[in-house]
Amino acid sequence: MSGSRGPAARLCSHLSAQALHYLLFAYRGQQLLRRRPTLGGPRRPAFGVAGDDVALTIDDGPHPRWTPPTLDLLARHGVRATFFLIGDRVREHPDLARQVLAAGHLIGNHSMSHPQPFAALPRHELRSEIERTQRVIEDATGVTPRLFRAPGGNWSPGVLRTTAELGLAPVDWTVNPSDWRSPGVPRITRTLSRTRPGQIILCHDGGGDRSQTVAALAEVLPRLTGRGLRFVTVPDDR
């Protein structure tokens, strides 16, 4: 049965997923250097948005400590973002998911439990991770997500195929300050300050102490809007 793979098969899947992770890391580097990142499609992740806009995406929430100050900060600067929510966190904090939606932000699917490497999961587990999150978010907010981001950005042909079968558009990123590592506010600020038109920014409001992310965004958002950049949500009609 598909759910009873042996150790050798699991190891092979894990190594394949890790290899894809490093290939995608290199591809993201190429996207960062492009004048216009790839917009993606039903079976190709979006690395950018059209025109001179930029998109801020926020992963791994909702979190009772870090989502509220993030929402307050975005409201102060008139910035709309795309929140990729984890199903387990939504089930624990449905009120926060509703707050994200009520504040005018877009909600995307970021799997039920954020397993990694995501692409190493058997096909039925991939589908379950995505489908269960859809149901949890729908129950909490009344909204059906139309965007999906693979945990860790760990895409594969199987992940993309499953995403497409479920009617979701895959979304990656261009600008990654690695804020999940807590590298320090100056480093996060420097990376985010280099954002150019058309790029998708990756940040986090869950998965750990996100005080550095909030502090860096407080510096960067007025800086980027002062340059004339307009923040939009990731298009969900591809």
Fold classification of 7-231 is TIM Barrel (3.20.20)
Q: pLDDT by residue (tens digit) across 73-103?
A: 999 999 999 999 999 999 999 999 999 999 9
Write down the pLDDT at residue 35.
87
Give mean pLDDT, residues 35-39. 92
**Do 172 and 151 contact (CB within 8 A), yes or no?**
no
Mean pLDDT computed over 13-29: 70
- Show the tokens assigned to 128: 């379950």
Residue (of 192, 230, 196, 220) closest to 34 by Cα position:
196
Measure the CA–CA gap between 24 and 202, rounded to whole angstroms.
15
Q: Is the backbone peptide bond immediately before 62 cis, with ω within 30 degrees of 0?
A: yes
Q: Which positions are annotated as active-site residues?
A: 59, 204
In the chain, the N- to C-terminal Cα span, in Å, equals: 35
Q: What is the pLDDT of residue 43?
A: 86
Residues 133 and 88: their CA atoms lie apart, in Å, by 8
Share of the chain above pLDDT 90, in %: 82
Q: Which of 180, 174, 235 lies closest to 63, judged by CA?
A: 180
Q: How far apart are the C-alpha atoms of 148 and 58, rounded to whole Å? A: 12
Give buried/exposed letters for 127-145 (b at 16+ CB in 10 A, else e).
bebbebbbebbeebbeeeb
| Cis preceding linkage at 117, omega within 30 | yes
> What average pLDDT score do residues 187-216 get?
98
Mean pLDDT in the chain? 92
Q: How far is CA 53 from the centre of its chain?
A: 18
The DSSP secondary structure of the chain, one letter per residue, reads: -TT---HHHHHHHHHHHHHHHHHHHHHHHHHHHSSS----BTTB-B-B-STTEEEEEEEEE--TTTHHHHHHHHHHTT---EEEE-HHHHHH-HHHHHHHHHTT-EEEE--SS--SSGGGS-HHHHHHHHHHHHHHHHHHHS----EE--GGG---HHHHHHHHHTT-EEB--SB---GGG---HHHHHHHHHT--TTBEEEEESSSS--HHHHHHHHHHHHHHHHTT-EE-PPP---
Q: What integer pLDDT is reported at residue 60 of this predicted model?
A: 98
